A and B are shown apart, each in its own frame.
With several copies, the nearest count.
Chain A
């Protein structure tokens, strides 16, 4: 048991905390709107090795662990980095595992191409509103029983709540290769959930930090807003949830990395809990900003919007709860026999 970062992870954290603070400043984040993708940031990130860091060295990757990657995802989430890092890393690991000989792998590992994972199976060959879809050249997704990979120029995506780089992607485009089946896909999806939970943990913590800083500096009735107990309790409640979300995300990553039998459920739980907690943290922090929280000028609204879009790219959370219920309780209609 070890419930703290290893020295190596701590080093990764420091490096990428610095990287994203510098390169994904709030000005960069704002400048990326409404597209939700900053190619310059991506290029710099590729230079750090992050896109392929969690692919084995044997396959040409950085040989880092999933936990290292989660640490990077958290720092990216903290700075709302307008790059589909989690999607890319998960897709790249998937290709490395399912089709190590695929021609795309090298450029994905290097970050020369942006790859993403379609989170829902395609309908009539089209994957709908894929996160990173308006940024990626390579898409991995499920079309029927086939796990396929396709390449192509990213289309422009629709305007949306959190300026996410969403777009529909055609999984039957020319050059498509079948690289595996549903089991690889399920694993990649679970990794996406756990890593997105990590990113939401970064987002939620930062939203609270922003809120705490604001309420300490803002004076009303001749005292800091942060000295009002109602404000304190609202922030405290949110921060306890974020703390739980953080450790649950770590546990999901550990479960996936160590082959825990329950890892997929853990990833689902971590995602659902982090999503709700980060949204609530951002909403509380926004509320305690008063009117300024609602103004474009202040940053907290960016966190509020992205918390929602990072959640909804996965679909209605109610459907994930339903799916989790089937796994934890058995499908409907099997109750009496279970």
Chain B
């Protein structure tokens, strides 16, 4: 095997690093503390570089950065602690529309997304359906050339900054649940939509969005009527290339080491010289190396067009579970000062480790809980029967 990146990807990495070193400023990092994990400024600069467009497959009209280059971009963004979630949604959304959308959607929505003018939001989850996403109850009823949509979506993160939501609706209640779903791209300025903030333990803002007799022309439909489950599979495929989070532990370990090199224990010894601390750091660094090969494998699979398997589930499961473990280890090492939040002058490393501790628990939940991913590995990789 060959784990080296092709020269094009390495050159791109150099370019990305230079760009991020310049543009991921303290102000951009500070901006995240508003709870909206996004920087319009950075996002638009990246769009101007052609990187959003670049992520879209060439055959779909994109800029033809391959999956390895995109994985390099995502990796570097995480190492620079730049916000990645909103960008990921934009790329996924544009790709899905380019693959499955009609000409209207391709012309109307995609350019705005890729130019960095508009953000998107995922509208899959509902108050009563999370892991069981196919149980969506938001109703879309046909009325001539229009659809009338009623329902509620949860975890529509970025909705308050976004122009569009990709909405999973139920169009047929008389068939098995997977067979009565239809997708729409819904502009948030359509009358009848209300957005309410949902605040979290990580101090990030998500949203609940409410749809009250929202009327939408049929041209906003994405994919076939009752064909939503096929669209969902395409959506998952595009998340494979751009899913982030594999390197969450990298800045955490970096900060912990930096702190441990400077901080002295009450007995005067440096934290970095504590063998128990050293053992945990080494274990975390090994885990991170595993995250790296997992992520590389996912990117490689996408680059060579390998059939979509459970690699994404494995990567996400391992990276998020170890991140949660590491964040718990490292906040402990800081002692009582580990509790201090960003903004407090004595907070070790500006409170980043404390933030990681509060953020980590959601990473084993969102985008497929660890339980769902273990189900997928058991069924898809080990060939065990569906547990339910």
Contacts and interface: CB of A to CB of B under 8 A. Distances in A.
A227 B371 CA distance: 13
A309 B331 CA distance: 10
A295 B200 CA distance: 4
Nearest to B360: A283
Interface string A232-270: 110111011101110110110111001000000010010
Given A1-B68, A212-B382, A305-B201, A294 B297 contact: no
A110 interface: no
Interface of A is mostly: helix
Interface string B109-122: 00000000000000
Interface in B83-142: 125, 128-132, 135
B261 A129 contact: no
Contacts of B68: 1
Interface in A275-329: 279, 283, 286-287, 290-291, 293-297, 301, 304-305, 308-309, 311-319, 321-322, 324-325, 328-329
A233 B286 CA distance: 23
B384 A291 contact: no
A335 B354 contact: no
Contacts of A25: none
B296 interface: yes
B333 interface: yes
Contact of B300 (A3, A162, A221, A222): A3
A162 B279 contact: no
Contacts of A219: 128
Interface stretch (B48-56, B237-245, B341-349): B341-349
Interface stretch (A37-45, A81-89, A153-161, A172-180): A153-161
Nearest to B197: A296
B173 interface: no
Contacts of B339: 129, 160-162, 164, 166, 308-309, 312-313
B285 interface: yes
B366 A335 contact: no
A324 B293 contact: no
10 contacts: A160-B341, A229-B375, A230-B387, A239-B381, A287-B365, A291-B154, A294-B365, A308-B331, A316-B333, A321-B276
Interface of A: 1-5, 67, 120-121, 123, 128-129, 158-162, 164, 166, 208, 212, 215-216, 219-224, 226-233, 235-237, 239-241, 243-245, 247-248, 250-251, 253-255, 258, 266, 269, 272-273, 279, 283, 286-287, 290-291, 293-297, 301, 304-305, 308-309, 311-319, 321-322, 324-325, 328-330, 332-333, 335-336, 338
